[in-house]
Structure 1
Amino acid sequence: MPVAEQSLHAVHRLFDYRQSISTKPYASRGNKVCRCRRCLLPAAVCTCAWRRPCVSNAAFALVMYDSEVLKPSNSGRLIADLIPDTHAFLWSRTEPSAELLALLADSRYQAYLVFPGEYALEQRVVEDFSSELPQLAASGKTPLFILLDGCWREAVKMFRKSPYLQQLPMLSFRSEALANYRLRKGKRDFQMGTAEVASLVLEAWGEADNAAALDSWFNLFVECTLWSRTQNKSASLQRIAELQQQVLQR
């Protein structure tokens, strides 16, 4: 049976903080819908009871563009739903998060910025992550994958305006698969949803089961969101029930 009560994770806490400093309610498409405060889906299709965290040896850090954490369509929160060692920070051009900088300097982790290699400046670009595994094993460090969470224009801005990110080795994928993110489709094929990118990362790190779990969780999230949009006719409660069972059977 699904577990209804689970502890708050980093994105939940960042959401609460971002709301606490807002001067007015966040307004977006569907803002009048009664939503769960944690998964941000309509109450009728809340997924919180279906969340099943994974056992993972990877860590993630989401650097989120201002109001991104408030958007119901944000998929970054799905990573924190499943991967226990996930951190979340608001991005600032002028005042970088001290907690983020401390995390990047933490000797327990080896940080990698996950971003298209074509944007690399002077940092090392890693396209075959298997080449990193011997060094990680020898060091005993946990890979910390940094994801810039926002629309593509915002992600590029965060990278270009953050010198501390430009010093990190860059993990870049040459994925031939088209993005499946039906909620906010990017203009270019590599512009995937944040959770989709994290699934590629987990696969590259060797955690295929966790990658598949995140894929299933992402598919359920997309289906529930599309179902709630009155003009969308492609989603159904039957399909949602099928995806719920896939989540439970992983």
Structure 2
Amino acid sequence: MTQVCTTCGFIHNCYCEAIPTIASDLCFTLLTHPNEFQRETNTGKLVARVIKQVNIREWQRKQPDPYCVPENSVLTPVLVFPDQDSMPLTQWQTQHPMASNFIVLDGTWQEAKKMLNRSHWLQNLPKVHLEATQSSQYQLRRNQEAGNLCTFEVCAQMVRELESSDDANAMLTFFEQYLQKFQAERSGHALPSCSQ
């Protein structure tokens, strides 16, 4: 009888052994929309399994999160969000060589925009944007705008721009495998195993 993996929760297509080892020194806070915790399609939880320094926090509209307030952290909090006053990620890193706490809004793009618009404390943070060169692999949600990356892909692109293309490629290879396993799991069948 097939059992549920106690780590990933999949029955037929456990992906735990496919998770790559990434030697990233980046620190992320995934500021997560409350709706996102109930969604099977959330990719933030995958980031936390691949990268060591990841804090998953629930977004509160009026209450600044302690992890995201400059006064409470040794790391400089910076919001990863394309905006009129955002600067390229690599430029930020050049001008601020000290370690940063990169805050990623974890939700749909529509939710992420609302999170930013409704929280003045987020608007006051410095912002950076990515120079993404790849289109998104993520097809698990409808009505997503072309060119937008999911949370996992955002973090992989940041690893690419600031640290290592090899690690970023390993993350995206894993993500492609995960998406296949997720679709098969949702359909209730196991993918055939590949013998090397």
Q: TM-score range by the shorter chain?
A: 0.7 to 0.9
Question: Unaligned regions of 5+ residues in structure 1, if any?
Answer: 1-33, 246-250
CA distance in 1, matches of 2:107, 2:73: 28
Checking the alignment, whether the CA contact within 8 Å between 2:159 and 2:165 is kept in structure 1 is yes
Q: What is the CA-CA distance between 1:57 and the residue it aligns to? A: 1.5
8 Å contact kept, 1:64–1:149: yes
CA shift in 2, pair 1:90/1:107, >3 Å: closer
Query: What is the aligned partner in structure 1 of residue 79 from structure 2?
Result: 113
CA displacement, residues 165-208 of structure 1 (integer Å, 9 cap, x when unaligned): 11222111343532210211543113221101111111111322
Which residue of 1 is the match for residue 60 of structure 2? 92
Q: Return the alpha-carbon distance in structure 2 between the equivalents of residues 168 and 37 of structure 1.
A: 38
SS of match in other structure, 1:229: helix
Aligned amino acid, residue 67 of structure 1 = N
**C-alpha displacement of 1:78:** 1.3
Say if 1:80 and 1:86, in contact at 8 Å, map to a contact too: yes
What CA distance in whole angstroms lies between the structure 1 residues aligned with 2:31 and 2:19?
A: 23
1:168 alignment partner in structure 2: 125
**Does residue 48 of the first structure (1) align with residue 8 of the second (2)?**
no
RMSD (Å) for aligned C-alpha atoms: 2.7
Equivalent residue, structure 2, for 1:16: none
Indicate the residue corresponding to 1:125 in structure 2. 86
Q: Give the whole-Å Cα distance in 1 for the aligned partners of 2:106 and 2:157.
A: 15
After TM superposition, give the deviation of residue 83 of structure 1 in Å. Answer: 0.8
Structure 2 spans left out of the alignment, 5+ residues: none
Aligned AA (1:100): Y
Q: How has the CA–CA distance of structure 1 residues 93 and 38 changed in structure 2, closer, same or farther, with 3 Å as cutoff?
A: farther
- AA matched with 1:115: F
User: 4+ runs of 1 displaced by more than 6 Å?
Assistant: none
The CA deviation at 1:112 is 2.1
CA distance 1:144–1:207, shift in 2 (3 Å): farther
Q: Is the 8 A contact 1:60 1:86 kept in 2?
A: yes
Cα distance between partner residues in 2 of 1:178 and 1:113: 22
Cα contact 1:149–1:194 (8 A) shared by 2: yes
1:199 and 2:156 are equivalent in the alignment: yes
Residue-by-residue CA offset, 1:148-178 (whole Å, 9 max, x unaligned) = 1111221111111112211222111343532
How many Å separate the matches in 2 of 1:201 and 1:66?
24
TM score, norm. by length of structure 1: 0.67
TM-score after normalising by structure 2:
0.84
Deviations 1:30-54 (A, max 9, x none): xxxx8545434x2211222443442
For the residues of structure 1 that align with 2:166 and 2:47, how far apart are their CA atoms?
Answer: 14
Return the letter of the residue paired with 1:226.
Answer: Q
Q: Choose between structure 1 and 2 for higher RCO, CA contacts under 8 A separated by at least 6 residues.
A: 2
The reply to whether residue 82 of structure 1 matches residue 39 of structure 2 is no
Superposed counterparts of 1:138-153, under 5 Å: 141-153=98-110
Cα distance between partner residues in 2 of 1:62 and 1:114: 10
**AA paired with 2:41?**
S
Secondary structure of 2:121 counterpart = coil
Count of aligned positions: 194
